[in-house]
Protein backbone atom coordinates (compact mmCIF):
# COMPACT_ATOMS: atom_id res chain seq x y z
CA UNK A 1 0.00 0.00 0.00
CA UNK A 2 1.45 3.31 -1.01
CA UNK A 3 -0.64 5.63 1.17
CA UNK A 4 0.45 7.04 4.52
CA UNK A 5 -1.16 5.73 7.68
CA UNK A 6 -4.44 7.21 8.80
CA UNK A 7 -4.48 5.15 11.98
CA UNK A 8 -4.70 7.28 15.13
CA UNK A 9 -4.51 4.45 17.65
CA UNK A 10 -1.02 5.26 18.95
CA UNK A 11 -2.01 8.86 19.51
CA UNK A 12 -5.26 7.87 21.29
CA UNK A 13 -3.49 5.22 23.37
CA UNK A 14 -0.65 7.61 24.28
CA UNK A 15 -3.08 10.28 25.49
CA UNK A 16 -5.02 7.72 27.51
CA UNK A 17 -1.83 6.44 29.18
CA UNK A 18 -0.80 9.97 29.99
CA UNK A 19 -4.17 10.73 31.62
CA UNK A 20 -4.13 7.63 33.82
CA UNK A 21 -0.39 7.22 34.42
CA UNK A 22 1.78 4.21 33.67
CA UNK A 23 0.85 2.14 36.70
CA UNK A 24 -2.90 2.21 36.04
CA UNK A 25 -2.35 1.83 32.31
CA UNK A 26 -0.31 -1.32 32.92
CA UNK A 27 -3.01 -2.72 35.21
CA UNK A 28 -5.71 -2.04 32.62
CA UNK A 29 -3.49 -3.50 29.90
CA UNK A 30 -3.35 -6.73 31.91
CA UNK A 31 -7.16 -6.80 32.19
CA UNK A 32 -7.52 -6.15 28.48
CA UNK A 33 -5.37 -9.04 27.37
CA UNK A 34 -7.16 -11.49 29.68
CA UNK A 35 -10.52 -13.10 29.09
CA UNK A 36 -13.61 -10.87 29.01
CA UNK A 37 -11.94 -7.45 29.48
CA UNK A 38 -15.31 -5.83 30.21
CA UNK A 39 -15.74 -8.02 33.30
CA UNK A 40 -12.87 -6.09 34.93
CA UNK A 41 -14.58 -2.74 34.46
CA UNK A 42 -15.80 -2.31 38.04
CA UNK A 43 -12.42 -3.25 39.50
CA UNK A 44 -10.66 -0.88 37.12
CA UNK A 45 -12.98 1.99 38.08
CA UNK A 46 -12.29 1.28 41.78
CA UNK A 47 -8.58 1.51 41.16
CA UNK A 48 -8.82 4.68 39.12
CA UNK A 49 -11.02 6.36 41.74
CA UNK A 50 -8.64 5.16 44.45
CA UNK A 51 -5.86 6.99 42.66
CA UNK A 52 -7.57 10.24 41.67
CA UNK A 53 -10.31 10.42 44.29
CA UNK A 54 -12.97 10.64 41.59
CA UNK A 55 -13.79 9.58 38.03
CA UNK A 56 -13.68 12.51 35.62
CA UNK A 57 -14.89 12.37 32.03
CA UNK A 58 -11.29 12.19 30.78
CA UNK A 59 -10.48 9.31 33.14
CA UNK A 60 -13.54 7.39 31.95
CA UNK A 61 -12.65 7.93 28.30
CA UNK A 62 -9.10 6.77 28.93
CA UNK A 63 -10.39 3.64 30.69
CA UNK A 64 -12.68 2.97 27.70
CA UNK A 65 -9.81 3.19 25.23
CA UNK A 66 -7.28 1.19 27.22
CA UNK A 67 -9.78 -1.51 28.20
CA UNK A 68 -11.51 -1.33 24.79
CA UNK A 69 -14.96 -1.14 26.35
CA UNK A 70 -17.35 1.41 24.78
CA UNK A 71 -17.15 4.80 26.48
CA UNK A 72 -20.93 5.02 26.91
CA UNK A 73 -20.91 1.72 28.76
CA UNK A 74 -18.07 2.84 31.05
CA UNK A 75 -19.87 6.10 31.81
CA UNK A 76 -23.18 4.29 32.32
CA UNK A 77 -21.65 1.96 34.90
CA UNK A 78 -19.79 4.77 36.67
CA UNK A 79 -22.94 6.89 36.94
CA UNK A 80 -25.09 4.00 38.16
CA UNK A 81 -23.18 3.02 41.28
CA UNK A 82 -23.46 5.27 44.27
CA UNK A 83 -19.88 4.55 45.26
CA UNK A 84 -18.35 6.20 42.21
CA UNK A 85 -17.77 9.94 42.35
CA UNK A 86 -17.90 11.77 39.06
CA UNK A 87 -16.57 15.05 40.42
CA UNK A 88 -13.33 15.82 42.24
CA UNK A 89 -13.54 15.44 46.00
CA UNK A 90 -13.14 18.47 48.15
CA UNK A 91 -10.48 18.88 50.85
CA UNK A 92 -13.02 17.69 53.43
CA UNK A 93 -15.78 15.14 53.04
CA UNK A 94 -18.94 15.97 54.96
CA UNK A 95 -21.26 13.08 55.63
CA UNK A 96 -24.62 13.88 57.14
CA UNK A 97 -26.53 10.95 58.62
CA UNK A 98 -30.13 10.67 57.45
CA UNK A 99 -30.83 7.42 59.28
CA UNK A 100 -34.09 7.10 61.21
CA UNK A 101 -32.82 8.29 64.60
CA UNK A 102 -30.99 11.30 63.20
CA UNK A 103 -33.91 12.09 60.95
CA UNK A 104 -36.48 12.28 63.75
CA UNK A 105 -34.06 14.50 65.66
CA UNK A 106 -33.99 17.01 62.75
CA UNK A 107 -31.19 15.81 60.43
CA UNK A 108 -33.22 16.98 57.43
CA UNK A 109 -32.95 20.56 58.66
CA UNK A 110 -29.21 20.13 59.22
CA UNK A 111 -28.87 18.70 55.70
CA UNK A 112 -30.83 21.61 54.26
CA UNK A 113 -28.66 24.12 56.09
CA UNK A 114 -25.53 22.41 54.74
CA UNK A 115 -26.89 22.58 51.19
CA UNK A 116 -27.79 26.24 51.61
CA UNK A 117 -24.45 27.20 53.15
CA UNK A 118 -22.38 25.33 50.57
CA UNK A 119 -24.64 25.98 47.58
CA UNK A 120 -24.41 22.34 46.53
CA UNK A 121 -26.40 19.16 46.92
CA UNK A 122 -25.42 15.60 47.79
CA UNK A 123 -22.67 14.15 45.62
CA UNK A 124 -21.30 17.56 44.75
CA UNK A 125 -18.26 19.62 45.70
CA UNK A 126 -18.30 23.30 46.66
CA UNK A 127 -16.91 25.68 44.06
CA UNK A 128 -13.92 26.55 46.27
CA UNK A 129 -13.03 22.85 46.35
CA UNK A 130 -13.07 22.71 50.15
CA UNK A 131 -16.15 20.59 50.89
CA UNK A 132 -17.83 17.58 49.34
CA UNK A 133 -21.27 16.69 50.67
CA UNK A 134 -22.65 13.20 51.06
CA UNK A 135 -25.61 11.69 52.90
CA UNK A 136 -25.60 8.28 54.53
CA UNK A 137 -28.11 5.97 56.18
CA UNK A 138 -27.07 5.47 59.84
CA UNK A 139 -23.45 5.57 60.85
CA UNK A 140 -24.15 3.68 64.07
CA UNK A 141 -23.97 6.64 66.43
CA UNK A 142 -27.68 7.07 67.11
CA UNK A 143 -27.08 8.17 70.70
CA UNK A 144 -25.41 11.31 69.35
CA UNK A 145 -28.19 12.11 66.84
CA UNK A 146 -28.30 14.15 64.71
CA UNK A 147 -24.77 13.39 63.56
CA UNK A 148 -22.51 14.63 60.83
CA UNK A 149 -18.92 13.67 60.13
CA UNK A 150 -16.22 15.75 58.48
CA UNK A 151 -13.55 13.31 57.33
CA UNK A 152 -12.88 11.38 60.57
CA UNK A 153 -14.29 13.98 62.99
CA UNK A 154 -17.72 13.20 64.43
CA UNK A 155 -19.97 16.17 65.24
CA UNK A 156 -22.78 15.25 67.63
CA UNK A 157 -26.21 16.78 68.26
CA UNK A 158 -25.82 19.19 65.39
CA UNK A 159 -28.39 21.96 64.95
CA UNK A 160 -28.81 24.09 61.82
CA UNK A 161 -27.37 27.06 63.74
CA UNK A 162 -24.16 25.21 64.49
CA UNK A 163 -23.54 24.27 60.84
CA UNK A 164 -21.81 27.57 59.88
CA UNK A 165 -19.66 27.39 63.04
CA UNK A 166 -18.51 23.87 62.20
CA UNK A 167 -17.81 24.78 58.59
CA UNK A 168 -15.82 27.83 59.65
CA UNK A 169 -13.34 25.77 61.65
CA UNK A 170 -12.47 23.71 58.55
CA UNK A 171 -12.28 26.81 56.38
CA UNK A 172 -9.78 28.25 58.88
CA UNK A 173 -7.77 25.05 58.72
CA UNK A 174 -7.74 25.27 54.91
CA UNK A 175 -6.55 28.88 55.08
CA UNK A 176 -3.72 27.91 57.44
CA UNK A 177 -2.71 25.09 55.10
CA UNK A 178 -2.67 27.43 52.11
CA UNK A 179 -0.57 29.99 53.95
CA UNK A 180 1.93 27.33 54.97
CA UNK A 181 2.34 26.06 51.47
Q: Does 80 bind other proteins (CB under 8 A)?
A: yes
Q: Which is nearer to other proteins, 73 or 175 (CB)?
A: 73
| Binding to other proteins, residues 86-145 (CB under 8 A) | none
CA 179 – CA 127 distance, rounded (Å): 20
Q: How far apart are CA 49 and CA 53, in angstroms?
A: 5
Q: Tell the smallest beta-carbon distance from residue 58 to other proteins (Å).
A: 9
Shortest distance, position 102 Cβ to other proteins, whole Å: 22
CA 172 to chain centre: 23
In the complex with other proteins, which residue's Cβ is closer, 10 or 180? Answer: 10
Helix, strand, or coil here: 69? coil
Question: What would the x/- binding string for other proteins be over residues 40 to 79, using CB under 8 A?
Answer: -----------------x--xx--xx--xxxxxxxxx--x
Rg over alpha carbons for the chain, rounded to the nearest Å, is 21
* Between 60 and 167, CB nearer to other proteins: 60
d(CA 17, CA 15): 5
H-helix or E-strand spanning residue 16: helix 9-20
* Interacting residues with other proteins between 5 and 24 (CB under 8 A): 5-9, 12
Q: Residue 70 or residue 129: which is nearer to other proteins going by CB?
A: 70
Strand blocks (E) in the chain: 92-97, 131-136, 148-150, 153-155
Q: What minimum distance in Å lies between the beta carbon of 116 and other proteins? A: 21
Taking alpha carbons only, the member of 93, 95, 152 closest to residue 126 is 93
Shortest Cβ distance from residue 134 to other proteins (Å)?
Answer: 16
Where on the chain is the footprint of other proteins (CB under 8 A)?
Answer: 1-3, 5-9, 12, 57, 60-61, 64-65, 68-76, 79-80, 82
Amino acid sequence: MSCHSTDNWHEVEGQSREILGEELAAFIGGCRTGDEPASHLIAVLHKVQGHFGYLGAAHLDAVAQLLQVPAAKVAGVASFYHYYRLQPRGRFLINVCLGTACYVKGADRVAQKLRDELGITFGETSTDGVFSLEASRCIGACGLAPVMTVDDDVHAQVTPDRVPVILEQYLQQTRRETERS
